[in-house]
Amino acid sequence: MMVRCTAALFLLALSIVSVADGRHDFLNLPSEGRRLFGTPPVGAYDDSAATKWAVLVAGSNGYENYRHQADVCHAYQILKRGGLKDENIIVFMYDDIANNVENPRPGVIINSPHGEDVYKGVPKDYVGEDVTAHNFFAVLLGNKTALKGGSGKVVDSGPNDHIFVYYADHGAAGLLAMPAGREIYADELINVLKKKHASGTYKSLVFYVEACESGSMFEGLLPEGLNIYATTASNSEESSYAIYCPGYDPSPPPEYDTCLGDTYSVSWMEDSDSHNLQTETLKQQYQLVKNRTASQDPDLSSHVMQFGDLKLSAETLSVYMGTEPSKGNHTTAYDNSPSHLSGVVNQRDADVLHFWYKFRSAPEGSAKKFEAQKQLALAMAQRTHVDSSIQLIGKLLFGIEKALKYNSGRFEIGFLVKRIGNFYCKPFRLLPVDNSNIFRFLSAVAVSLRDIITEIWNSLVEGPLYQALKSSEPSAQHSSRPKIHT
């Protein structure tokens, strides 16, 4: 009894002292003793032992894709400012932008017209030819022995830890591009996430994806119950969009001839820069990004989507991005701007825009002018050649009348591949499990299409147009074949 009385008197004394020195204008009750001594209330989850992990992936290379590495570098700065340690942030980027000869600010990468350098301090974990789907999966699973190159860092997480994954690059139906090796396929990614969940090595995982048709990576594939919440820049059938592009408003500094960012990506990052991560929820950020990415013109916007365990969206951003609140001094192009954005460019047109502005700004008669002209001509020739070839495939598969119907408007390879499955076999999600004949047929179609596309590409780069451009180049040094992502 004496001990309890003494403790009560002690707590009361603390409360009186608090009032006396002006720290509070209310009385601290004995029931608030837990807060005074820094212990959590009864029934609350103690997150103090949890580690925050992040995996950031820029899946492209080439200066025309500047924006993807800029996005990833910006994401790193947000996480670093939020208190995440470098040992827990794993970065995949080709690292051919900052010191590229075309970069007007050597050693510097910016993600907005008036933005600061986001490249400084970024870890070089997996660069160049080490930026592969294989290494990405190994990192997610914490499998050091499976790594091929790189720093060796993996997500060595425990059951109470939180993981944030962010990817930015090109995509198509059911895949995400990588600059080296093969692509990331939707079914493989889902299997890796399921395996990660089965290992019991995380409490929750948030996945942000910037890519065309990025919704196809999760739609109908990511089940509930894995404690994974994912948002994507677009649905399963549309492009995502670049922003801060030359000739558009808002425009990059005049010395830049490439897009600096992607609409979905800069929306969530600039929102994180300007709001308190400890109070804003994932759901609030999703809605804000969805509104900003949308446009009154349906041909110039994408639909931001969410998948998985939506209950996780009630958590604050700080659970994944750190606890450092905004200092209120970060100015972006979105401050005091309308909720809908303008001046965006289709992801698949951003490279052509870059080549055009590079050509237009180069001195007349210079080698730089010729190189830009060659790049622009090759990019346009590739599109024309592939479009006409795919239209021919469509006519052979569907007949002329149906092919014309499918080809009206913008024609996309991903759309055609999906239509093949739907036209012959109903939507894939309705297929009976034991219908092996249909699956064998689809496999044959897929192999045939792969071989056809490969033959088209080989005929293009070895054809007369490419060889003529190559042979007439002033410099004796020839560039290697470009890696093209649809």
Q: Report pLDDT digits (tens) over 66-120.
A: 999 999 999 999 999 999 999 999 999 999 999 999 999 999 999 999 999 999 9
Residue 484 or residue 177, greater confidence: 177
Tell me, rounded to whole angstroms, the distance of Cα 127 from its chain centroid. 17
What pLDDT is attached to residue 274? 92
Task: Please check whether residue 206 is in contact with residue 75, taking contact to mean a CB–CB distance below 8 angstroms.
Answer: no
Nearest of 73, 76, 178 to residue 134 by alpha carbon: 178
Three-state SS for 167?
strand
Mean of pLDDT values over 152-157 = 98
Is 114 annotated in the active site? Answer: no
Q: Lowest-pLDDT range, 151-155, 371-375, 387-391, 468-472?
A: 468-472
The pLDDT of residue 427 is above 70: no
Instruction: Give rounded-to-5 percent helix, strand, coil for the chain.
Output: 45, 10, 45
Considering the candidates 162, 170, 275, 485, report the single residue annotated as catalytic. Answer: 170
Which pLDDT belongs to residue 377?
Answer: 79
User: Do the beta carbons of residue 340 and residue 292 sit within 8 Å?
Assistant: yes
What pLDDT sits at residue 389?
74
Catalytic residue among 68, 162, 212, 485: 212
State the amino acid at position 347 in one-letter form: Q
How far the first Cα of the chain sits from its last, in Å, is 77
* Domain boundaries defined on the chain: 54-345, 362-471
Q: 290 or 331: which carries more pLDDT confidence?
A: 290
CA distance linking residue 231 with residue 214, whole number of Å: 9
Judge residue 442's burial from the number of C-beta atoms within 10 Å of its C-beta, 0-12 exposed, 13-18 middle, 19 or more buried: middle
Give the pLDDT confidence score for residue 381 in this predicted structure: 78
pTM above 0.75, yes or no: no
Identify the three-state secondary structure at position 127: coil
CATH fold for domain 54-345: Rossmann fold (3.40.50)
pLDDT of res. 431: 34
How confident is residue 460, by pLDDT bands cut at 50, 70 and 90?
low
pLDDT at res. 430? 31
Spatial CA neighbour of 240 closest among 309, 289, 180: 289
Give yes or no: 330 in active site.
no
Helix/strand number for the chain, H first, E second: 14, 12
**Are 141 and 358 within 8 A, CB to CB?**
no
- Answer whether residue 422 shows pLDDT above 80: no
Distances (CA, A) of 403 to 149, 217, 223, 407, 416: 46, 26, 35, 6, 10
Q: What is the mean pLDDT of residues 436-453?
A: 50
pLDDT, one tens digit per residue, over 351-410 is: 888 777 777 777 787 777 778 788 777 877 777 777 777 677 767 766 666 666 555 544
Measuring CA to CA, which residue among 254, 148, 160 is closest to residue 203?
160
Q: Which residue has the higher pLDDT, 41 or 254?
A: 254
